[in-house]
């Protein structure tokens, strides 16, 4: 069965960077897109970006461009999301999830990784 397992919680300081991993299994890694979505405490969902594992192409939310980068390792079926110049309002639960290409729906989700930015 499809599984996405994310790395553990992170506590980091303003201005620093964080890298979250999403290890996938149960399907052909290059067949599904992978999205990242975040949710600040008590707030709604916010789309962060997408990576197409087959070719590594990415697209990011306009307000995060320049601070976020998504990469993948096809040998371990793992996707990474790195965010730099962190601010307190980047504190959120970060989820990865898969999409069958061109359906627009994220059908399998990771368990989430809490990133806390605090001085």
- CA–CA separation, 64 and 21 (whole Å): 18
- CA–CA separation, 20 and 12 (whole Å): 12
Instruction: Tell me the closest approach of the beta carbon of residue 52 to other proteins, in angstroms.
Output: 12
Q: Which residues bind other proteins (CB under 8 A)?
A: 35, 37, 44-47, 49-50, 59-62, 65, 95, 97, 102-107, 109-112
Provide the CA 45 distance to its chain's centre, in angstroms.
13
CB closer to other proteins, 93 vs 117: 93
CB closer to other proteins, 2 vs 16: 2
CB closer to other proteins, 35 vs 72: 35
CB closer to other proteins, 1 vs 75: 1
Instruction: Tell me the closest approach of the beta carbon of residue 118 to other proteins, in angstroms.
Output: 21
Sequence-distant (≥ 6) Cβ neighbours of residue 65 within 8 angstroms: none
- CA–CA separation, 4 and 106 (whole Å): 12
Instruction: Tell me the closest approach of the beta carbon of residue 104 to other proteins, in angstroms.
Output: 3
Instruction: Tell me the closest approach of the beta carbon of residue 72 to other proteins, in angstroms.
Output: 17
- CA–CA separation, 50 and 97 (whole Å): 9
């Amino acid at each position: 069965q499809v599984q996405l397992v994310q790395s553990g919680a992170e506590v980091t300081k303003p201005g620093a960077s964080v890298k979250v991993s999403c290890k996938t299994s149960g399907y052909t890694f290059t067949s599904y897109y992978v999205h990242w979505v975040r949710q600040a405490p008590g707030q709604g969902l916010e789309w962060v970006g997408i990576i197409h594992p087959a070719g590594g192409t990415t697209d990011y939310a306009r307000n995060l461009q320049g601070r976020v980068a998504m990469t993948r390792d096809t040998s371990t079926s793992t996707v990474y999301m790195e965010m730099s110049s962190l601010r307190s309002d980047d504190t959120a639960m970060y989820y990865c999830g898969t999409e069958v290409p061109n359906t627009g729906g994220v059908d399998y989700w990771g368990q989430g990784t809490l990133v806390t930015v605090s001085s």
